[in-house]
Structure 1
């Protein structure tokens, strides 16, 4: 069977080939755009360490840091406990935090991280006191990390 397009006579088998090539070109172009966007924007979030507090014997340290993913997210304060010799110069290597809070759209005043203020005090190698502002919005607050009991206190 023969079809006409803009005055050109094109056999049916050729139409199928043209449509298949056009479809493949669209799929490859779309996939290429996604791959380029992923490459350019995959590391949009930045971790920044603001403070490190050693336990009394130096066995552990509590690390106060922030994950900043741009203008769409509120400033936050996060805390993790790591071994005393852990190198925090590469913040992306920090384990999952046990405490995460933000300012709840400005209700809590800004601290060191521009997120809510957090104060860390080691009571012993097995006990950490974590103080945060009463209006901070808490997303995660675990009572134990790495065998260290965490005591939470709010302040005004």
Structure 2
């Protein structure tokens, strides 16, 4: 009798774990990333990837930045350096997300500019050997060359 109860409990938890794992995979697959720009470091070992992420109708677009080895592709996950959204208060790109700018100051230093009104969820100041500094702006990013590039790529509709 005790053995049957024990096996029943183990079976229940195994089933519950499997179900939660499947739901977690399905939720992550509901999200999608759209790369805006990749900026290689001066020594070409790393790249900063600016991308927007959308997880369906109940959430808005958010802007993410990840630092990756230059040969690595962006996975369907959130940014590892900066995650920010406008929440209706900050300027936004026509294709969604908050306008940001990334500039490599040196091979070990990165500067990120984003709207002061944006809400930040992740804001790392170091990643491996790279120091990251942030500055905010009021209405438009310091430079819009990456937006012009995306407009040429027909990203802006």
TM-score range, shorter chain: 0.5 to 0.7
Summarize deviations over 1:5-60 as a string: whole Å, max 9, x none: xxxxxxxxxxxxxxxxxxxxxxxxxx9xx89x95xx55211122221001111111
Q: Which runs of 5 or more residues in structure 1 are unaligned?
A: 1-30
Higher Cα Rg: structure 1 or 2?
1
- Change in Cα spacing, 1:149 to 1:66, as seen in structure 2 (3 Å) is same
Normalised to the residue count of structure 1, the TM-score between the two structures is: 0.67
Query: Which residue does the alignment assign to 1:103?
Result: 86
For 2:73 and 2:84, the matched residues in 1 are separated by: 24
Residue 86 (1) aligns with residue 72 (2): yes
Shift >4 Å, 4+ stretches? none
Q: 2:30 aligns with which of 44, 48, 51?
A: 44
- Change in Cα spacing, 1:66 to 1:57, as seen in structure 2 (3 Å) is same
Residue 123 (1) aligns with residue 109 (2): no
- Change in Cα spacing, 1:81 to 1:53, as seen in structure 2 (3 Å) is same
**Matched positions, count:** 119
Query: Which residue does the alignment assign to 1:69?
Result: 55
Normalised to the residue count of structure 2, the TM-score between the two structures is: 0.66
Root mean square deviation of aligned Cα: 2.6
Query: Which residue does the alignment assign to 1:16?
Result: none
Measured after TM superposition, the shift of residue 67 of structure 1 is 2.2
For 1:134 and 1:96, the matched residues in 2 are separated by: 19
- Structure number with higher strand proportion: 1
Query: Which residue does the alignment assign to 1:150?
Result: 132
